Structure 1
Amino acid sequence: MSLPVRRFWQLGALIVFAVGVSIILLDLAYRDLQTDFIRRETMQQAYLLQNQLEFLTKTDSAFATGQMLIRYLEQSKQNNLLKHFSQVFLYEPATGRVLPDTASKFSETLNSLIKLQRYPIAKLSLIELHKKAQWALLIPVRAGQSGTGYVVILTKNIPVAGWFTSDFWRYFTPLIVVISLIVLLILLVVYHSFKHPLRSVRNLAEHLQAGDYQYRIEYPKQDEFTDTFVRINQSLERLGASDSSYHQKEAHIRTLLEALDESIVVLDGDLKVNSFNPAVVRLLHCPSQDAFEACFARILEENMSLRDLIRQFKTLNEKTLSRELVVWVTDDRELNMNVTLHRLDSNRFLMTFKDLSRIKELQNNLLRSMKFGIIANLVSSISHEIRNPLSAVGIHTEILSTRLHKEYPELDPKLKKSLNIIQNEIKRIHRIHTQFFNLARKRDLKLSTLKPNALIDDVMQLVQHHALEQQISLETELDSNIDFIYGDADQLKQVVLNVILNAFQAVGEEGKVRIKTSQDRQKIYIEITDNGPGIPPEVGEHIFDLYFTTKADGGGIGLALCKKIVEAHEGRIWFRSMPGKGATFTIALPRISHTRKERIQTRLTNLEKG
């Protein structure tokens, strides 16, 4: 059943209910009216009777008069003068006598009636006995020496006719039926008049709720609704044009946001994300755009400085507020950012993020490249000047040591120790010179597609013997489905080898070193973990700096060169460490792609040029 039909029947039922209640109330009022009419008619008859009986009440004997009165009343009843009366008594309260004698059983009742006199009209009293329209009429009479007596007349038990039992209903039933039919006809006319307009409005509401602003009301009739629907259709045309323009501008703004390198987030007053662009998803290292809201909520929760900045901005009445903050985006990654807030309205604001870490990294790389370039040029120019004298000193030291051992077998131990120190220091100078020379010399690049696991296997063959000698447990956990990378195999092996050898030196004998490979959608990861003493924070700040070393025989070149090689492959190297719990070095390299091949080749060529 449709909504208009259901409402029509509801309205009809309401009208029927109202008519029924009205009829019941009218019947009750009609009954009360009849009761009052009978009472008044009875009183009128009693007044007539009182006037006719006045001459009888002047005798000395009340009961003699009473007998005459009773005979008179009986005659009056036969003459229809007292049509509502059924019984007549003469009652003398002083003696308690009742005439006729057959009514003596009513003496107590009559005595009670005298005490309950109501409706006093002149000298008469009309007492209502019960709810069935029966009364007792008391007429005071003079009873001679004995005092006052009463003529008590009981009315008949007259049923009061209601509306339904009277002629009123028979007379007015046709009128009520006609009125009901007219009301029903009016309802039908109103229903049919409003049915089509209401259906049109309902269809319009459904289309608007679904976002369809192209819907138009079709109303073929010409009546009072026609002009209204024409105006609604005109308004819909303007609304549809505005909606189309709005969606076009929204798409244009969304395209601009996606094209911007600036990372943008729009938040409401409850710090819920309203909108964002892909750049901020990449910058904050969120897994996907669908998971950005949860990712951003986690970043806000973990960075108190960011929450304090937002709280300060909401408190201050400023349109823009900017701060430079260090923001943790993952468990092992923090970014130095410039965060700027712009107020859009009273309940929304825009946040922009600019990664200063990349800018500072580029500045550091530039300084490092300049430093490497200077060193490379310096080493290239003086390499031969150092190598030849150093080689001569080394050779002659070996000759001197050999001849002394042959000619003087019992050579002074202190002298032998001094010769050994000279030889070891010459070897150390040779090693440092070789490192500098390798750093500076130009090598032919051998770029190819590489399998990271094969790269690890080659390095493992080089360090396996060393691990056995030091009783170091060497474990591997290699992802068999790992993707390819692109680069120079020798340089990448040099990086992995350097990190593993550093781990060997950190753990000492009976230590443990684990090599693991893994990948995500963009990167290949090589993790080298040891259970050594860890790296102190003051050392970790400079561990990739050139010439920085904590080893007595180190030159501070190894990790600096590793960082340079990894970055030339568009990768990144970092470490995690807690004092006393070992360290983990992670090498992240990009998965292979055509555009990356060209960029890596260019960067490695520039690296070799110094």
Structure 2
Amino acid sequence: MQSAEQQERIKELEEAFALFNQTSERLTESYNALQKRTADLQDQLAQSDLEKKRMADRLTRLLQLLPASVVVLDRENRITEMNPSAENLLGEDAKGRTWPVVQRNVFLEKNSAGELVTHQGQVFQLANTALDQEVGRILLLQDVTDARRLQEHVSRHQRLTSMGEMAASLAHQIRTPLSSALLYVSQLNAAELTQAQREKFALKVQSSLHHLESLVQDMLQYAKGGKSSRKPLSVEELVALTMRNLEERVNNAHAHLSYDHSAGDLQINGDMDGLSTALQNLVNNALDHIPDQALIRISVKRSEAYIDIIVSDNGPGIEAENLHKVFEPFYTSRAKGTGLGLAVVRAVAEAHHGEAWVKSIVGYGSQFGIRLPLEAE
């Protein structure tokens, strides 16, 4: 017979074994669940690796097929990776070399638009983005040669179209001053004329001939699109030449033409005659619209990469709806105007990789400007 104490101990052992069995079953279930979760995670990881490999393969194929050149630089500006287009452009030996050295070897110059030009005349647009502060950059070189040639072709076509319109307009515009000059010349030999009348007719003939000269000059300047030889020149000398050429007309119009020297003497690359013609057209435009006592000021403002040569006047101003038309060929608000003066200004500015602009308030005058890139210092 077992004692009560022994029976109690057996009961405790049975309870302990039962608890142990329950715990073991739970641990087994947890282990099985963990194994299943591990298998699921392994499947997901394998799927993720497969997706990454597919994405990497797609990116590799895309880079191989991409016509643009892709270059990867490290934080020391050394080329670490290139796609086939970049290898064809830069050469396979470019890998491992610094980008500034490769750029100097492959490209002849950088134009005013920041595009790289090869020795063969190909034009490449350069874009870059940072990968990471500690990693480097990606460069994208896109061949825009065809696009630039197409732009030039379209511009040439537009000028040829305009020249047809210009020929018809000029035939009418030239006829009037030419007829006037012929009429006054025919009267100069009349015996009954006094000396004062002869001088008056001579001045009329001179005025008509100056008008003809201005028409022909604008026509030639517009026809060639403002292009000519480009050399380093001083803005001070450019303005001084312009003011000398305008001195007679300014005096005859009882106007005042001044120049603000505060910007100092700046250097640009350009054609002195073409730019002087453009500035003269801006001043003449102001004189044409201000009957008497015109106040015209030429000033220069400099930004980081450009300068603005500005002609300000105290004229009647231009209505807001007409501001976008003033640089168009043959647009004029004057009965005797040809509409070529300001078109020449825009053509000259664009030929110098710049632009022409206008600001005006009716009743307070106008500002016309030629924006030109600065010569690198």
Q: Which amino acid aligns with 2:263?
A: L
Structure number with bigger Rg: 1
Partner of 2:342: 559
Distance 2:301 2:340 in 1: 26
1:395 offset after TM fit, Å?
Answer: 6.0
Paired position in structure 2 for 1:205: none
Question: How far apart are residue 492 of structure 1 and its match?
Answer: 0.6
Range with greater deviation from structure 2 (583-592 or 436-445): 436-445
Q: 1:520-539 maps to which residues of 2 (within 5 A)?
A: 524-536=307-319, 537=321
Structure 2 equivalent of residue 112 of structure 1: none
CA pair 168-424 structure 1, distance change in 2 beyond 3 A: farther
Which structure 2 residue ranges, 5 or more long, are not aligned? 1-5, 71-84, 86-114, 116-126, 130-150
Which structure 2 residues correspond to residues 520-599 of structure 1 after superposition, within 5 A? 524-536=307-319, 537=321, 541=325, 544-546=328-330, 548=332, 550=334, 557-589=340-372
TM alignment of 1:95-134, pairs within 5 A: none
Shift of 1:535: 1.9
Partner of 2:194: 401
Cα deviation for residue 491 of structure 1 reads 1.5
**Is 1:428 paired with 2:207?**
yes
Change (3 A) 1:237 1:547: closer
- 2:301 is matched with which residue? 517
The 1:563/1:372 distance shift into structure 2, 3 A limit, reads farther
Q: How has the CA–CA distance of structure 1 residues 527 and 176 changed in structure 2, closer, same or farther, with 3 Å as cutoff?
A: farther
Unaligned runs of 5+ residues in structure 1 are 1-166, 202-224, 260-281, 283-287, 291-356, 406-415, 594-610
User: How far apart are 1:241 and its partner, in Å?
Assistant: 3.7
CA-CA distance at 1:494 after TM superposition? 1.6
Give me the CA root mean square deviation. 5.8
Deviation per residue, 1:144-189 (Å, 9 max, x gap): xxxxxxxxxxxxxxxxxxxxxxx99877444444444455556666
Corresponding residue number in structure 1 for 2:286: 503
* 2:316 match: secondary structure: coil
Shift of 1:440: 6.4
For 1:603, the equivalent position in structure 2 comes to none
Q: Deviations over 1:512-548 (max 9, x none)?
A: 6352334566x65433333432124469736643484
Task: Check conservation: 2:188, 2:201, Cα contact below 8 A.
Answer: no
Distance in 2 (alpha carbons) for counterparts of 1:185 and 1:540: 88
Once the two structures are TM-superposed, the CA of residue 432 in structure 1 deviates from its matched residue by 1.7
Aligned 8 A contact 1:526 1:588 in 2? yes
Amino acid at match of 1:433: L
- 2:194 alignment partner, SS class: helix
Shift of 1:396: 4.2
Q: Is the 8 A contact 1:375 1:440 kept in 2?
A: no
Q: Percent identity?
A: 15
TM-score by length of 2: 0.51
Indicate if the aligned counterparts of 2:180 and 2:208 stay in contact, CA closer than 8 A: no
Contact kept in structure 1, 2:235 and 2:268, CA below 8 Å: yes
* From 161, 164, 178, the counterpart of 1:367: 161
**CA 1:433–1:188: 2 relative to 1, 3 Å:** same
C-alpha change, 1:257 and 1:529, in structure 2 (3 Å) is: farther
- My pick for the range that moved more, 569-578 or 438-447, is 438-447
CA distance in 2, matches of 1:572, 1:433: 27
Partners of 2:7 and 2:287 lie apart in 1 by: 119
Cα distance, 1:489 vs structure 2: 0.7
Q: Conserved in 2, the CA contact under 8 Å of 1:576 and 1:583?
A: yes
Match of 2:56 in 1: 244
1:478 aligned residue (259, 263, 266)? 263
1:69 is matched with: none
- Deviation at 1:495? 0.8
TM-score by length of 1: 0.35
Map Cα deviations across residues 464-487 of structure 1 (whole Å, 9 max, x no partner).
89599645665466387x7733x3
Aligned residue pair count: 287
1:152-551 equivalence runs, <5 A? 172-184=11-23, 201=38, 229=42, 235=47, 238-248=50-60, 251=63, 364-371=158-165, 393=186, 396=189, 400-402=193-195, 422-439=201-218, 446-452=229-235, 454-456=237-239, 458-459=241-242, 466=250, 470=255, 474-475=259-260, 478=263, 484-485=268-269, 487-503=270-286, 506=289, 509=293, 511=295, 513=297, 515-519=299-303, 524-536=307-319, 537=321, 541=325, 544-546=328-330, 548=332, 550=334
Distance change >3 Å, CA 535–CA 398, structure 1 → 2: farther
